[in-house]
Each structure stands twice: as structure tokens, then as C-alpha cells.
Amino acid sequence: DQQVKQNSPSLSVQEGRISILNCDYTNSMFDYFLWYKKYPAEGPTFLISISSIKDKNEDGRFTVFLNKSAKHLSLHIVPSQPGDSAVYFCAASANTGGFKTIFGAGTRLFVKA
């Protein structure tokens, strides 16, 4: 029973275009959402986050959108660069006395030059 789902295992985008990575969640108690980026043979690194009181958070080329009614969030990368090629994990946590974070299965992004 996956509480955080990334239904696209992979995504291929041309350099300069927009990359849109999607994530769905089932637990309405989640109130903090994060995206992590992972290169091969390295650990995941924090990319961007959003609190449930917001619907958008922007950091340079990266924007995360949250639609609480649909239990859906997305990561937009504009413009995409070859160095963005990595696995992106969506994660969610709930402030319920413990901060266990639940991760999605990841989406592998390929940005073609």
C-alpha cells in the first residue's frame, strides 16, 4: 500500500524544454512535501519542499505545485538541462508526533542535449 506514488518510472525531455514530474499521495495527514534528486552512486540530495499551507514554491529553475484537493504535487524544471538527468524522489511527511518521511519509488529523468 504505497502512500506516495510516482507513476512514471522514467521521463525523457529535450534540453531547454520543461520537465514535469508528478506525484500522488493518499494520506490526507501529510503536511510537508519534498523532492530529492539522486545521481548514480550518490545519496539523495534535497531539492525543494513545500508546506501544505502553500500551493506553490519556486527556487530558480525548480517549482513545486501542490494540489491538496487532488492529493497531487508536481515538480517543474524550466529550462531543463542535461545535468538535471537523475532520479527524482517525491517524499511526504506528517506532523503527528513523529516525522517519518515516506518516499515514492522515483522517476528517472533523461534530458537530451
Partner 1 sequence: NAGVTQTPKFQVLKTGQSMTLQCAQDMNHNSMYWYRQDPGMGLRLIYYSASEGTTDKGEVPNGYNVSRLNKREFSLRLESAAPSQTSVYFCASSELRLLEETQYFGPGTRLLVL
C-alpha closest to that of 68 among 56, 86, 80, 78? 56
Phi, psi at 112, each rounded to 5°: -90, 135
The residue from 25, 89, 92, 109 that contacts partner 1 (CB under 8 A) is 89
Stretch that binds partner 1, among 11-19, 59-67, 74-82, 92-100 (CB under 8 A): 92-100
DSSP label at residue 29: T
Stretch that binds partner 1, among 36-44, 57-65, 68-76, 77-85 (CB under 8 A): 36-44
Least Å distance, CB 113 to partner 1, is 27
Q: Is 1 in the site for partner 1 (CB under 8 A)?
A: no
Phi, psi at 84, each rounded to 5°: -80, -10
Residues 58-87, interacting with partner 1 (CB under 8 A): none
The residue from 19, 64, 66, 106 that contacts partner 1 (CB under 8 A) is 106
- Interatomic CA distance for residues 44 and 28, integer angstroms: 25
Stretch that binds partner 1, among 11-19, 59-67, 76-84, 95-103 (CB under 8 A): 95-103
Number of residues that bind partner 1 (CB under 8 A): 25
What CA dihedral angle connects 93, 76, 47 and 96, to 10 degrees? Answer: -10
